[in-house]
Amino acid sequence: MAELALRLPENVEGDFYVDSTCIDCDACRAFAPTVFSDTADQSFVFHQPETGEELLAAQKALITCPTSSIGSSTGARAAVDTLPELIAEDVYRCGYASESSFGAISYFLRDRNILVDSPRFAGPLVKKLAAMNGVRRMLMTHQDDVADHAKFHERFGCERVLHRDDVRAHTAMMEIQPEGSDPIELEPDLLMVPTPGHTRGHVVFLYKNRFLFTGDHLAWSPQRGHLYAFRSACWYSWPQQILSMSRLLDYTFEYVLPGHGRPIHLPPDEMRASLEQCIDWMNSKR
C-alpha cells in the first residue's frame, strides 16, 4: 500500500496521492487522466476527484497501479466490481496491471474468452473472469507484457499465443508460436499482424476490423494530437517499426488499445489520417 510518509510533494492537497514508489508506468493516467498527471519520471495527483465519475476513475487507477503507489483513506472497494470495465461491444479493459510488465494494460474479449496480454493474477479479477466463463486463450503482443501468463494458464487451462521471434526462457512453454511476417487469422474476425520494431517478434491483434490491440507498438499522444510510437523504447529496430506501421495502412480500425500509452477512438478515416501523421513523425526521428 502507498505510504503517506512517502507522499510526493507535487500532489495537490486532498485524499488521493501518489508516493515515491511510483515507476511512472502511465496506467493511472490512462484510467483517470483528469486526476493524475506526470512530472519528469513519476505520476502525481494534480486534481482531486470532484464528481462521482472522477472518483470511480481514480479508484480504478488505485486498483490498477502495479506498485500500489496510489493512496486514499477511502480506498477503492467500491470500484472492485467495475473491473474489467467495458470499452465497447464485448471488449473490456482489465485493470490490475503487473509490475513485471511495467504496468501494461491488458484487455478481455468476453464473447471469445480471450485475454490480450496478461494482467496481474489478482483474486478479484480472477473471480470476475471465472464468472465471465473463464479464459480460453491468451494473446501476447510481445515478450515484455506476459506477466502472470503461467498462473492464468494453470487456473483456466488457456492456450497462449506468442510470435516465435519473441520466445525467451520465460515464454518458451507457450503452446502456439507462429512465425514469419504474414498476417494470420487466428479465428474469424481476429487477425494477428506481425509488427517488428519495438521487439523483433512484436505483433498487434485486429478484432472485428474495429479494435486494434497494439501492445507497445502504437498509442495516442494527447500532446502531439496524433498517433505515435515510442522512439526511446524501441528495443529492436526503428526502421523496421516504421515499415510495420506503414503496413497498418492496409487495415481499417476505430480503436487503438495499447498496453502502454493512451487509447483512442476515432472514425476510420480520421484514424487513417492520424496513422499517416504518425508515420511522417517517425520518419523525422530516424
> Read out DSSP for 77-127?
GGGGGG-SEEEETTEEE-----GGGTT---EEETTTTEEES-----HHHHH
Rounded Cα distance, 139 and 162, in Å: 7
Both 88 and 71 in one domain: the answer is no
Q: What is the pLDDT of residues 53-95, one digit of tens each?
A: 999 999 999 999 999 999 998 888 889 999 999 999 999 999 9
Both 117 and 239 in one domain: the answer is yes
Using CB atoms within 10 A of its CB, is residue 2 exposed (0-12), middle (13-18) or buried (19+)? buried
Pair 200, 234: CB distance under 8 Å: no
Both 51 and 114 in one domain: the answer is no
Domain boundary (37, 58, 76) is at 76
Predicted confidence at residue 39, as pLDDT, reads: 87
At a CB cut-off of 8 Å and minimum separation 6, what does 6 contact?
A: 19, 20, 21
Angle value at C-alpha 128, between 190 and 262, nearest 5 degrees? 55
Domain boundary (29, 49, 76) is at 76
pLDDT band at 243 (very low <50, low <70, confident <90, very high): very high
Using CB atoms within 10 A of its CB, is residue 265 exposed (0-12), middle (13-18) or buried (19+)? middle
Q: How far are the Cα atoms of 72, 106, 189, 216, 240 from residue 62, in angstroms, in the given order?
A: 8, 16, 34, 22, 36
Domain total in the chain: 2
Both 34 and 9 in one domain: the answer is yes
Both 213 and 255 in one domain: the answer is yes
Pair 84, 127: CB distance under 8 Å: no
Domain with 26 in it: 4-76
Both 62 and 169 in one domain: the answer is no
CATH of the domain at 127: 3.60.15.10
Domain boundary (22, 56, 76) is at 76
Both 112 and 244 in one domain: the answer is yes
Using CB atoms within 10 A of its CB, is residue 52 exposed (0-12), middle (13-18) or buried (19+)? exposed
Of 52, 13, 17, nearest to 37 by C-alpha is: 17
The mean predicted confidence, pLDDT, of the chain is 96
What global pTM score does this model have?
0.96
Both 267 and 184 in one domain: the answer is yes
Both 163 and 63 in one domain: the answer is no
Q: What is the pLDDT of residues 110-169, one digit of tens each?
A: 999 999 999 999 999 999 999 999 999 999 999 999 999 999 999 999 999 999 999 998
Cis amide bond preceding 263, omega within 30: no
pLDDT band at 176 (very low <50, low <70, confident <90, very high): confident
Average pLDDT estimate for 250-262: 97
Phi and psi, residue 268, nearest 5° = -55, -40
